[in-house]
């Protein structure tokens, strides 16, 4: 496809110079460029295809070098990045030194926040609106050159609790404030809940099919009726037809316009121009098609929400396949448990495919739930189910667990309720980068009295951890596992059951030169490092299994061995497994001066391949070899040989 229009757009100013009638051609070129890149690297596909025309119209009407644009669910930002001078970064999408997959202020001043979590845009936009007002920089009748504020909300994140809090406060603003609701009838998967049902009914109602019902009489009933009636006069039938008489958002104090067609650029530009300077909070409800432009993505927007690289054939699409993922292993293990124990229930927060819970929803629809983008609600719902005697498993990305920490504290741990947390995407996550790394689940959950925290290293280990958690009724428990393929290294060895607070020795030694205590999948890399060091060093390797409680017998043996001890984890060194070992050593009165820690540094690691990120953190195989060698340069003491531990 000829990309001449797109290649000439280096800034929003260039976009404004494109004749209006050529903007659909620009949209087609953007759609093609995004598709061709994601075919090679993977990335967020369907969400971005759906907002191309809307993004073009927003940049056509507003000046976001001066005005404020806040994204809700930042994975709909690719068109925005192409318009704001980052086309040259597209060929390294989600790679080092390339375009981040989410808004990133390091990349451009047009990105105000690095956002990867849903529900936040309205609240941050309210904050910027109030800040600009206090600084005398807000757009007003007396300051027409002031800053406008726009929050672009998409993928059903409007149902998030923080979004509701933001709406509640936005309605109190006495100035211009625009929420653009990108309503594509989807979340990451199909949206859930009563609010989603309301939007479904609205889209198929007579109001949407023929917007002639909200005429001048209805305008007078709306908040600020005089101003809105003037607005209606200025826009004529377009505005009056789009104003809804019973819009849900008006209960929050926001005048509502729409829904309108989110792929009709001239109409979008006309409508945005009309609402741009209305001096009160408004919602522009825009209906878009997720995955717009390709039959395969429009037909299965969930599968193409964030696909791996793919190939388009005349008769279909081939998605790149790799080895078996931890997510797939979890989904199968969960279904097996639910088949064996009818007390097991599960839920996820808008991530049924991403967490593997979709398998359980399909097989056990009465015991498996998708709460929508509502992690806090999901945690409390699981607490309520635990209170009735059920055995709930909440599958959630580690990065999104943070959104439900208060509920994990108040409604779960404080009550002593056995809610089981299954933490997918724990540790470094690759292309999604800093906004999605699961780097602090151990540190935040370890603070909860009575919590039990474990980690899996492969599929048999994950199954045993889940089986342990199923009957562990003493309080909150969690298992973490990465966004990665399951290792087959230990496939020929039996995996012993998990016992509370007990580790597993993977590579015993009667007289080790070094001892490594690994938490989670880094144990596999440590085994590889030990193999390569075998001709020069005898390295004893432990799968710690638990970060709380630590296996104190393992810790005592290691620290009393007289050799260097290294802890390794795909988690922050701040408050993680290594820190827990140091704390327990102090309690036990053990000398921990020869204990070294490897883990994620106290800093941000940005997008790239997971292998690159592991290397940057110093926990890949090569880095571990270097760390073990360095640790062993300290002369070994003449400590007595310690017994070889049992498997």
| Residue-wise pLDDT tens digits, 540-569 | 999 999 999 999 999 999 999 999 999 999
Last residue of a domain, one of 480, 513, 543: 480
472 and 510 housed in the same domain? no
> Of 235, 263, 287, which one is at a domain's C-terminal end?
287
Q: Identify the weakest region by mean pLDDT among 180-184, 297-301, 581-585.
A: 297-301
Residue 518 sits in a domain whose CATH number is 3.40.50.920
User: What is the reported pLDDT for 229?
Assistant: 46
Q: 468 pLDDT band (50/70/90 cuts)?
A: very high
pLDDT for the residue 233: 46
461 and 361 fall within a common domain: yes
> In this prediction, what percent of the chain has a pLDDT beyond 90?
74
Residue 403 in contact with residue 117, Cβ under 8 Å? yes
pLDDT (tens digit per residue) in 502-544: 999 999 999 999 999 999 999 999 999 999 999 999 999 999 9
Per-residue confidence (pLDDT) for residue 532, from 0 to 100: 97
487 in any annotated domain: no
Residue 637's pLDDT band (cuts 50, 70, 90): very low
Predicted pLDDT at 645: 46
Q: Quote the DSSP letter at residue 560.
A: T
Do 283 and 152 lie in one domain? The reply is yes
352 domain residue, yes or no = yes
Question: HEC string of 561-613?
Answer: CCCEEEEEEEEECCCCHHHHHHHHHHHHCCCCCCEEEEEECCCCCCCCCHHHH
Give the mean pLDDT of 265-275: 94
Averaged pLDDT score across all residues of the chain: 88
The predicted pLDDT at position 429 comes to 96
Tell me which residue of 191, 192, 188, 111 sits closest to 152, measured CA to CA: 111
Using 50, 70 and 90 to split pLDDT, how confident is the model at 197? low
Higher pLDDT, 147 or 645: 147
The confidence band for 226, taking pLDDT boundaries of 50, 70 and 90, is: very low
**What pLDDT was estimated at residue 314?**
82
42 domain residue, yes or no: yes
In DSSP notation, 144-169 reads TTSB-EEEEEETTGGGSHHHHHHHHH
Residue 149 has pLDDT above 60, yes or no: yes
**Structural domain that includes position 594:** 505-632
Residue 105 has pLDDT above 50, yes or no: yes
Q: Is position 500 within any domain?
A: no
Instruction: Give a yes or no: residue 642 inside a domain.
Output: no
**74/221 same-domain check:** yes
Q: How many domains does the chain have?
A: 3
395 and 451 together in one domain? yes
Choice among 47-51, 169-173, 426-430, 641-645 with the minimum mean pLDDT? 641-645
Q: What is the pLDDT of residue 305?
A: 84
- pLDDT over threshold 50, residue 255: yes
Q: Which H or E run includes 47?
A: helix 46-49
pLDDT digits (tens, 9 = 90+) for 172-186: 999 999 999 998 875
Q: What is the CATH number of the domain that holds 386?
A: 3.40.50.970
Across 138-147, 218-227, 318-327, 637-646, which has the greatest mean pLDDT?
Answer: 138-147
> What's the rounded mean pLDDT across residues 560-583?
97
In this prediction, residue 313 carries a pLDDT of 86
| Vertex 16 angle, CA 12 and 19, to 5° | 140
Q: Which pLDDT value is given to residue 634?
A: 58
Give the catalytic positions in this structure: 290, 375, 403
DSSP string over 57-121: HHHHHS-TTTSEEEEESGGG-HHHHHHTT-GGGGGGTTSTTS--SS--TTT-TT--S---STT-H
> Is the pLDDT score of 639 beyond 90?
no
Give the pLDDT of residue 96. Answer: 87
* Integer Cα distance of 582 and 598 in angstroms: 13
Shared domain for 283 and 330, answered yes or no, is no
> Is 50 exceeded by the pLDDT of residue 487?
yes
Q: Torsions phi, psi of 521, nearest 5? A: -60, -20
- The answer as to whether 411 is a domain residue is yes
pLDDT score recorded for residue 216: 31
CA distance 238 to 590: 76
Residues 203 and 352 in one domain: no
Q: Which strand (E) or helix (H) includes residue 515?
A: strand 514-519
* Whether residues 448 and 549 fall in one domain: no
Does residue 518 sit within a domain? yes
What is the spatial distance between Cα 280 and Cα 481, in angstroms, rounded to a whole number?
47
257 with 362, same domain: the answer is no
- Asked which of 447, 480, 513 is the last residue of a domain, the reply is 480
Confidence at 168, pLDDT banded by 50, 70, 90: very high
**338 shares a domain with 412:** yes
Per-residue model confidence as pLDDT tens digits over 312-362: 888 788 888 788 999 999 999 999 999 999 999 999 998 999 999 999 999
* 468 plus 531 within the same structural domain: no
**For 182-192, what is the mean pLDDT?**
63
CA dist 580 to 38, 176, 521, 574, 614, Å?
Answer: 41, 50, 18, 10, 21
Partners of 548 in the β-ladder? 453
State yes or no: pLDDT of 235 exceeds 50.
Answer: no
Contact 441, 454 (CB under 8 A): no
State the pLDDT at residue 375: 94
At 372, is the pLDDT very low, low, confident or very high (cuts 50, 70, 90)? confident
- The pLDDT-based confidence of 248 (bands split at 50, 70, 90) is confident
Query: Given pLDDT bands bounded at 50, 70 and 90, which one contains residue 246?
Result: very low
State yes or no: pLDDT of 211 exceeds 60.
no
The reply to whether 638 falls in a domain is no
């Amino acid at each position: 496809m000829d990309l001449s229009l797109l290649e000439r757009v280096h800034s929003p100013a260039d976009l404004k110079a494109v004749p209006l009638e050529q903007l659909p051609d620009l949209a087609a070129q953007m759609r093609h460029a995004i598709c061709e890149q994601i075919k090679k690297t993977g990335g967020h596909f369907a969400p971005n295809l759906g907002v191309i025309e809307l993004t073009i119209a927003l940049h056509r009407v507003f000046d976001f070098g001066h005005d404020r644009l806040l994204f809700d669910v930042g994975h709909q930002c690719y068109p925005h990045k192409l318009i704001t001078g980052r086309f040259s970064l597209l060929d390294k999408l989600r790679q080092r030194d390339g375009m981040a997959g989410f808004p990133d202020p390091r990349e451009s001043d047009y990105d105000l926040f690095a956002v990867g979590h849903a529900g936040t845009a309205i609240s941050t936009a309210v904050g910027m609106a109030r800040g600009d007002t206090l600084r005398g920089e807000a757009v007003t009748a007396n300051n027409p050159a002031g800053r406008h504020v726009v929050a672009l909300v998409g993928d059903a994140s409007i149902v998030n609790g923080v979004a509701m809090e933001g709406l509640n406060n936005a309605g109190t603003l006495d100035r211009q404030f625009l929420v653009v609701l990108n309503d594509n009838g989807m979340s990451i998967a199909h949206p859930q809940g009563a609010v989603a049902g309301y939007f479904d009914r609205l889209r198929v109602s007579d109001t949407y099919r023929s917007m002639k019902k909200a005429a001048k009489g209805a305008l007078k009933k709306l908040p600020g009726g005089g101003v809105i009636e003037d607005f209606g006069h200025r826009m004529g039938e377009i505005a009056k037809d789009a104003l809804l008489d019973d819009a849900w958002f008006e209960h929050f104090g926001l005048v509502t316009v729409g829904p309108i067609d989110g792929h009709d650029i001239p109409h979008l530009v006309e409508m945005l121009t009309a609402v741009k300077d209305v001096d009160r909070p408004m919602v522009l409800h825009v209906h878009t098609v997720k995955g717009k432009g390709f039959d395969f993505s429009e037909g299965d927007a969930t599968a193409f929400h964030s696909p791996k690289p793919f190939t388009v054939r005349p008769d279909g699409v081939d998605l790149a396949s790799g080895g078996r993922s931890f997510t797939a292993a979890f989904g199968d293990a969960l279904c097996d448990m639910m088949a064996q124990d009818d007390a097991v229930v599960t839920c996820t927060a808008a991530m049924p495919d991403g967490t593997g819970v979709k398998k359980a929803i399909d097989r056990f629809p009465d015991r498996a739930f998708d709460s929508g983008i509502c992690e806090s609600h999901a945690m409390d719902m699981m607490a309520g189910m635990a209170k009735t005697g059920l055995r709930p498993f909440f599958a959630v990305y580690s990065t999104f667990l943070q959104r439900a920490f208060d509920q994990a504290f108040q409604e779960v741990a404080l009550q002593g309720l056995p809610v089981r947390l299954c933490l997918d995407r724990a540790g470094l996550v690759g292309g999604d980068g800093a906004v999605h790394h699961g780097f602090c689940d151990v540190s935040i959950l370890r603070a909860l009295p009575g919590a039990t925290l474990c980690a899996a290293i492969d599929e048999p280990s994950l199954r045993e951890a889940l089986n342990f958690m199923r009957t562990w009724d003493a309080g909150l428990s969690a298992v973490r596992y990465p966004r990665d393929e399951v290792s087959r290294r230990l496939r020929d060895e039996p995996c012993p059951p998990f016992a509370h607070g007990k580790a597993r020795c993977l590579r015993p030694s009667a007289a080790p030169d070094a001892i490594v205590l690994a938490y989670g999948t880094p144990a596999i890399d440590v085994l590889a490092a030990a193999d390569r060091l075998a001709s020069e060093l005898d390295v004893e390797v432990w799968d710690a299994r638990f970060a709380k409680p630590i296996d104190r017998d393992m810790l005592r043996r290691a620290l009393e061995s007289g050799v260097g001890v290294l802890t390794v984890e795909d988690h922050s060194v701040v408050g993680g497994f290594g820190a827990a070992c140091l704390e327990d050593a102090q309690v036990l009165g053990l000398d921990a001066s020869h204990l070294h820690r490897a883990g994620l540094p106290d800093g941000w690691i940005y997008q790239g391949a997971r292998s690159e990120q592991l290397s940057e953190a110093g926990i890949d195989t090569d880095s571990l070899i270097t760390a073990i060698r360095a640790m062993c340069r300290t002369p070994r003491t003449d400590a007595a040989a310690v017994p070889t531990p049992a498997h």
